[in-house]
Amino acid sequence: MLDLHKLEQSIDEALASETTESLTEWLLNQRDRNLSAFLGDGYFEALAPTSIIFKQNTNSVLTTVETCDIPNDYQLAA
């Protein structure tokens, strides 16, 4: 038979013994551990930066123009 009173007592005692520092450190360790578990074993490799240069040899640009007739005299709406 599960003793709920003992379970509650153990939580209350654990919380009562915590300080801001101890709790923060424990939480951050948990997050670090979870991140390591997600990423798996390994290490980060520093990669050399790469860059790409685009060079334009001509100034000509292809464009399309669409035109439509627009009347100059607008009628006022009634």
Partner 1 sequence: MGDGYYFWNDEIDALHWGGNSKRKTGYFEIYSATISCENILDTVFNEEHYKFWIKQIEKAAKYIIKKTNIKPTISEINQYFKEKAKWENLTDGIMFQDLPHSTDLLVINFNYRKRIQLVAYKLKIIHNFALHATHEV
Run of H or E including 29: helix 20-39
Alpha-carbon distances, residue 16 vs 20, 23, 25, 30 (angstroms): 11, 11, 16, 20
Which of 14, 77 has the CB closer to partner 1? 14
Print the binding letters for residues 9-28 with partner 1: x by CB under 8 A, - otherwise: -xx-xxx--xxx--xx-xx-
Asked if 3 interacts with partner 1 (CB under 8 A), we say: yes
Measured from the CB atom, the residue of 38 and 44 that comes closer to partner 1 is 38
Asked if residue 35 binds partner 1 (CB under 8 A), the reply is no
How many whole angstroms separate alpha carbon 53 and alpha carbon 10?
64
CA–CA separation, 26 and 19 (whole Å)? 11
Binding stretches for partner 1 (CB under 8 A): 1-4, 6-8, 10-11, 13-15, 18-20, 23-24, 26-27, 30-31, 34
